[in-house]
Amino acid sequence: MPQEETSDRTWLRDLFDAEHAPIWRALLAWTGSPTVAEDAVAEAFCQAARRTDLRDPAAWVWKVAFNLAGREMARRRIDVALPEDADPAADDATTLSAATLDLLAALDRLTPQQRGAVVLVDGFGLPSARAAELLDTTPTTVRVQALRARRRLRTALTPIEEAP
């Protein structure tokens, strides 16, 4: 485990294998930017590699990755990096399906708190208490924001039927 100062870094490889993809997907859904997601995850794992005092390395990496992505979003002065006139070839968008792009556009219409709550609770199945730790809020706030986000997403993603 990381508490022991040793040259054996298999714990880090195991942690990366288990957590990299879920954290990246959560950050992509939250930020809308594959680049911000990848940079935040990479930096969080780099910082974890330098630590020897982590009691819960997975929780620590999730929290650091979300904090880094949040700071990058603020630095760029963006809510979500998915502008209406986005070039589909830019920022690795070509690897995303049309349905994923629709979902990201719908997530773009949510507040950052709503987006974070619905991504972590519904997208990744985290309990509201765990999501609250990652988002630096309370479990009650997470539940309320996730409920509001679901309502807004349902409206945004439900196709409007043509009138007869």
Share of the chain above pLDDT 70, in %: 79
pLDDT number for residue 134? 82
Q: What does pTM read for this prediction?
A: 0.60
pLDDT number for residue 88? 44
Judged against a pLDDT cut of 90, whether residue 102 lies above it is answered with no
Lowest mean pLDDT among 17-21, 40-44, 86-90: 86-90
pLDDT number for residue 5? 45
pLDDT number for residue 24? 93
HSE-CB at 14 with a 13 A cutoff on CA atoms is 7
pLDDT number for residue 96? 64
pLDDT number for residue 30? 83
- The token pair at 118 is 């619905």
Lowest mean pLDDT among 27-41, 42-56, 65-79, 104-118: 65-79
Per DSSP, the residues of 73-101 read HHHHT-S-S--TT--TTGGGGGGS-HHHH
- The token pair at 56 is 């819960």
Nearby residues of 152 by Cβ (< 8 Å), 6 or more positions away: 106, 109, 110, 114
